Amino acid sequence: MIYKFKVTSSEVDGFVREIEIGHEQTYLDFHNTLQKSINYDNSQMASFYQITKDGQRGLEIALFEMNTEEDDNMNVYAMDVAMIREFASKKQAHLVYVFDFFSNRFFDIQLVEKGIVKSNTKYPICTLSKGDAPIQIQLDAENFEGLELEGLETKKEKTADDYLADFDDEFDNGPEFENLDDYEDLI
């Protein structure tokens, strides 16, 4: 069985991707195909979320497994083990794909069709590609409005004095040496 998903963006008018994927393939396959179709860096953090009937994010299918054995959060699955058929149905036909966690930016994904496998097609495949995708990571001054950034250190070039300031030259314990000959006298 093949699932066809339509991917759109509320940020960019005219952006559409349609991805066909086999029911036994994983959300990691979906992630990689989508990333390749829009030329994003597929190593950046991303997650699929099922959208509940009341419009809230429900079950998460994350790029990386972040649960520990002590976690009892059963609403997070790893993309590499979550198969398409397990989490895509007509009841849960709406997903979002968060590709920029810092700015909470995402694509809307709708399951538009289920069909039969075409014998000469290798899945997953992007069957429709229209428009340019939004930039992947959006970091600009507008996104920092309202954030408390006073305690954050910004990168600056260190001087030799900056490195030396990290060492405490005052030793209260032990003998003082002015040169190596003084050290040899103790041995």
Q: Kind of pairing, strands 57-62 and 76-78?
A: parallel
84: confidence class by pLDDT, cuts 50, 70, 90: very high
Percent of the chain with pLDDT over 90: 46
164: confidence class by pLDDT, cuts 50, 70, 90: low
The whole-model pTM stands at 0.70
Partners of residue 23 on adjacent β-strands: none
Q: Which has the higher per-residue pLDDT, 160 or 21? A: 21
Please tell us whether the domain made up of 2-134 is placed in CATH 3.10.290.30: yes
Looking at every residue in the chain, the average pLDDT score rounds to 80
Q: Please, are residues 102 and 139 in contact by the beta-carbon 8 Å criterion?
A: yes
The pLDDT assigned to 14 comes to 94
The pLDDT assigned to 182 comes to 62
pLDDT digits (tens, 9 = 90+) for 42-51: 788 999 999 9
Partners of residue 17 on adjacent β-strands: 7, 129
| Gap between the Cα atoms of 51 and 15, Å rounded | 21
Q: What's the whole-number mean pLDDT along residues 3-16?
A: 95
Partners of residue 47 on adjacent β-strands: 62, 98
| Gap between the Cα atoms of 71 and 66, Å rounded | 9
Which one, of 17, 15, 35, lies nearest residue 27 by Cα?
35
pLDDT digits (tens, 9 = 90+) for 101-153: 888 899 999 999 998 888 888 999 999 999 999 988 877 555 555 555 555 55
Which one, of 139, 167, 129, lies nearest residue 38 by Cα?
129
